[in-house]
Amino acid sequence: MSRLDGDFARRCAGLCRGVGGAARQRFLAPPSLPRRAAGSEPSGLADYTCGDDYRYVDWNRAARLDELVSRQYYGSERGRVWMLLDVSASMEIGQPAKLDAGRQLAAALGYACLARHDELGAAAFGAAVGPWLRPCSGAAAAATYFRFLEGLGPQAGRTDLRAAARWLEPRCGAASQVVLVSDLLDPAGFAEPLGALRRRGCGIHVIQLYAAEDARPTRRGPVRLEDVETADWLSAIIEASDLANYQAVFQEFCLSVRQFCAGRGLACTQLCSTARLAEAFAAVQRGSSRSSTRRVR
């Protein structure tokens, strides 16, 4: 992976400055911009997002123009963001690996949070949770956060999203944002742990990372397949029809993620590990602003 050093920090600062539109007023906005708060000085309007307080909705504008927007105010409250990064063995798949792409994206998003003086905590998870970083704030903490991410390696064993959710539940609340960076390949499913966090009242942004070979494998003929999380092997003969069936199943899985998030007001971004960092960063910003999804292509 690219080193998360001073040059990377300057690149992150440029990404933050380059974000425009309604996304600039959401949880990854630069610190110099106003945010909604319990203040009295108005700062403008932003698109309504699922979970926004109805008291901030401009109902007169909604009746006149048939659009939902929320009033924004200057304020000084500090938010808390928890960055959950999947480091299970399946995240090593891809060129570049999903883990490397996820680590860079988590670094850029975390830098944006620190630069705007939100508190940022982070944790890695696979079969268990750990290591983790206590919440910190301020741009000066970026170096510590980057070192934490650089020190993460893949974990053996099956992905356990429920363990990550149970660990995080007592640490997050209604004022918290949770950013989950994962391929979501948990045999037990993603619905129960994400639902549990949602019931805690925290905002959630699901970033589903997939490798090109996850979506469109090309190997045909006699093969031996290894489950990288259990080391189990399976011999098979793969034909063109098998590849087509697999791709259909993968698309159905991605659709189920989008539908789950849309039905519960969770932001969702689906990205290939080959996406450029600037493209991925902008896609997450758009998803945060509109509570929308970026579909698998």
**117-141 residue pLDDT tens:** 889 999 999 999 999 999 998 878 9
| Any domain includes 2 | no
Tokens 């982070």 sit on residue:
122
Structure tokens at 177: 């944002």
Q: How far is CA 116 from CA 1, 20, 137, in A?
A: 26, 15, 9
Q: For residues 143, 135, 148 and 129, what is the CA-based torsion angle, rounded to 10 degrees? A: -170
| Any domain includes 147 | yes
| Any domain includes 212 | yes
| Any domain includes 4 | no
Q: pLDDT tens digits for 11-26?
A: 888 888 776 544 444 5
| Any domain includes 1 | no
Distance CA 250, CA 244 (A): 10
Give pLDDT, residue 115: 85
Q: Identify the DSSP state of 140.
A: G
pTM over 0.95: no
Together in a domain, 62 and 106 = no
Query: Which of the listed residues 73, 95, 121 is the one where a domain comes to its end?
Result: 73
Domain range holding 87?
77-294
Q: Identify the DSSP state of 88.
A: B
Give pLDDT, residue 34: 42
Report how many domains make up the chain. Answer: 2
